[in-house]
Amino acid sequence: MRNLPYDDPGTPDLRSPARYLIWTARQQWRPLLLGTGYGIAWMGAQALVPAAIGRGLDEGVSAHDMSAAVKWSLVVLLLATVQAVAGVLRHRIAVQNWLNASFRSMQLLGRHSALVGVAIRRRLPTGEVVSAATNDALMIGGAFDITARLAGAVVSYLIVAVLLLKTSVLIGTIVLVGVPSMVVLLGPVMRPLQARQRVQREVAGRLTALGADTVAGLRVLRGIGGEPAFLARYRARSVELRDAGVRVASLQAVLDSAQVLLPGVFLVALTWLGARLAVQGRISPGDIVAFYGYAFFLVIPIRTAVEAADKITRSLVGARRIIGVLETRPQISEPSDPAPSPPVGAVLADAASGLTVTPGRMTGVVSADPDETAAIAQRLGRLEDHKGVTLGGVPLHRLPLRTVRHRILVSEAEPRLFTGTLRDELDPWGRAVDDGDLLAALRVAAADDVLDSLPDGLDATVDEGGRGFSGGQRQRLALARTLLSDAEVLVLIEPTSAVDAHTEALVSGRLRQARHGDGSGTARTTVVTSASPLLLDRCDEVVFVRDGMVEARGSHRDLLADHPPYRDTVTRGEDL
């Protein structure tokens, strides 16, 4: 069994759903080939059992030859043993193929979503991406689960057809023509079923998106009394999904009943014809017994073929949705001709606003409009494809994204927490950071109380999104995680907006001390966007921005005294 996730899931072929499935099959051709072998051995052994029983009756029972009866009994036992062993191995490898294909698609979607970033949310609703990574990925796995059984069904069908042709050309011809005809007859049901499944998938995606958006804004909805309106919308979408599911189920019921009816009619006709040939003396008693065995066995390959058609159809639908997500292009592109990375301690500058960040210092950026400073922060970290930001004179858009992300880290106003232990949350890079460094970062972020409230300490489990913490606790934990990155440049957007004044004062002082090297290390560059006097008073330099441009710069106290627009912004019109 192969370990998951993959080190590299590969680069998929997105030209069509069929090409995507073929590409996936190529990535795991060895287990698919092995499963095919097991499937052929498993179902081929079943196909040969009626022939062995028939020969045993003719050569042993009818001829009163005990040795022949024993011989063919042993052959039946051998075939049963092969069938049992190959069946277990076939099932095992089929599950492996299913998981490998599904998890490869899940990993591709997860990797692509992380690389594309916010661009994927602007093109597709969250529910669409979630459904692709869960429902559609599992649907794709279904096509690889059925592969081994489908191969066994085709080969065993040919084995039975050959055996029947050797016994009776008439019956063999009927089998060769009749079985494929039954599968073809199901085509008119498969095509509309695929269309209805696609509609159901789209409705399910919209419902998931609505649910995700509603949960994300639940507090706001309660605050404005909007819960009934959203409940009504969710109920309407649920009814739409139910109706789509009923339409799919009606055709699925026709398909399922046809899988029983058509083989049943075919087998009754085949058995009746074999009985007439036996009465006429054209076939032996052993042949008629074998015919009965073949008749009942043929139900398996027929139903397997129909099931394969259904699963492959579903896989094509799922692949189409996955391709829709994977075709989303990132807003930020890699440079075609990367420039050499500038030396450590280079000046970071934003030409659009006129901001120049002095290396090794803590710089505050203030504006009456927080969106202006947030936009500057996004440009400084190249979270937007803007060409006016330079590091050491080198345009950021000419540096590899990996270099930019390593040297400049932007922490958003509402950072995300993820499921896992607190230790892993603070060290998502997996660098095995020493507990002493973890505790030091928590102290700088004034998150000691958060750690003390957790019975398991650093090994405590963090809920998805940090739901078990308050807004201020989540913000402080995210700040500690940011500090542990030890990035050359930190850009913090409103890092203390959710904490009280006392905690903000602690964070401000400790943050300045930590980023200045604590008197023993190299000073790091820090940019803080905030209008908090407590935080700005700890900055080495403060820059005031108005209408997107730098209007004034100096210390917090100098700007309070000499620049009224700055004073009005940070004091909110109140005297300090």
Which of 213-227 are b and which e, b meaning 16 or more Cβ less than 10 Å from the residue's Cβ? ebeeeeeebeeeeee
Predicted local confidence at residue 127, as pLDDT: 64
How sure is the predictor about 395, in pLDDT bands with cuts at 50, 70 and 90?
very high
The CATH number covering residue 541 comes to 3.40.50.300
| 364 and 277 within one domain | no
Structure tokens at 182: 């039954």
Residue 8 placed within a domain: no
As a dihedral over the C-alpha atoms of residue 380, residue 386, residue 391, residue 397, rounded to 10 degrees, the angle is 130
pLDDT, residue 220, reads 47
Place of tokens 């950021």: 396
pLDDT at 115 > cutoff 90: no
Instruction: Check residue 208 and give its pLDDT.
Output: 64
Crossing angle of the two packed helices 147-167 and 285-297, in degrees rounded to 10: 160
Domain count, the chain: 2
- The answer to whether residues 80 and 157 belong to one domain is yes
Mean pLDDT score, 178-194: 66
Same domain, 274 and 158: yes
Q: Is residue 7 part of a domain?
A: no
CA 418 to chain centre: 15
> What phi, psi does 409 have (nearest 5°)?
-120, 125
Shared domain check, 315 and 367: no
Within this chain, do residues 275 and 359 fall inside the same structural domain, yes or no? no
Residues in the chain: 576
Report pLDDT for 519. 52
Q: Nearest 5 degrees, angle CA 18-CA 22-CA 27?
A: 150
d(CA 477, CA 462): 11
pLDDT tens digits, one per residue of 224-271? 555 566 667 767 777 777 777 777 777 777 777 776 777 777 777 777
Out of 32-41, 449-458, 481-490, which region has the weakest mean confidence (pLDDT)?
A: 449-458
Q: Report in angstroms the alpha-carbon separations of 419 from 416, 426, 446, 452, 453.
A: 10, 12, 22, 19, 18
In a shared domain, residues 275 and 410: no
Regarding predicted confidence, which is higher, 89 or 167? 89
Identify whether 331 is part of a domain: no
Q: What is the pTM of this model?
A: 0.63
Whether 48 and 89 share a structural domain: yes
Give the residue from 279, 294, 326 where a domain finishes: 326
Roughly what angle, to the nearest 10 degrees, separates helices 299-326 and 29-56? 170
Burial of 563 from C-beta contacts in 10 A (0-12 / 13-18 / 19+): middle
- Whether residue 401 sits in one domain with residue 313: no
Residue 336, in any domain of the structure: no
Give domain status of residue 341, yes or no.
no
Q: Quick check: is 93 in a domain? A: yes
Q: 463 and 546: one domain? A: yes
- Residue 50: cis peptide before it, omega within 30 degrees of 0: no
Burial class, 546, CB count within 10 angstroms (exposed 0-12 / middle 13-18 / buried 19+):
middle
CB 357 within 8 Å of CB 523: no
Lookup result for tokens 């039954």? 182
- Give the CB-side neighbour count of residue 328, counting CA atoms within 13 A: 27
- What's the pLDDT score for residue 215? 54
- To the nearest whole number, what is the mean pLDDT of the chain? 82
Does 576 fall in a domain? no
1 lies in a domain? no
Is pLDDT of 160 > 80?
A: yes
pLDDT confidence of residue 456: 86
Span 461-514, pLDDT tens digits: 888 777 778 888 899 999 999 998 888 999 999 999 888 999 999 999 999 999
| Rounded distance between C-alpha atoms, residue 31 and residue 37, angstroms | 10
- Of 299, 40, 294, 301, residue with least CA distance to 167: 294
Burial class from Cβ neighbours inside 10 Å (0-12, 13-18, 19+) for residue 501 reads exposed
Which residue range(s) make up the domain with 214?
Answer: 17-326
**Chain centroid offset of residue 255 CA:** 31
CB atoms closer than 10 angstroms to residue 427: 20
61, 148: one domain = yes
Last residue of a domain, one of 293, 326, 359: 326
Rg (CA), the chain: 34
CATH of the domain at 196: 1.20.1560.10
% of the chain residues with pLDDT over 70: 86
3-state secondary structure of 261: helix
Whether residue 356 sits in one domain with residue 322: no
pLDDT tens, position by position, 325-384? 888 877 777 888 889 999 988 999 999 999 999 999 999 999 999 999 999 999 999 887
Q: What are phi and psi of 404, to 5 degrees?
A: -65, -45
Instruction: Map residue 117 onto helix, strand or coil.
Output: coil
Give the DSSP per-residue string, 349-381. EETTTTEEEPTTSEEEEEESSHHHHHHHHHHHT
Same domain, residue pair 293 and 433: no
Query: How does pLDDT run across 49-80, given as a tens digit for each residue?
Result: 888 888 888 787 777 878 888 888 898 899 88
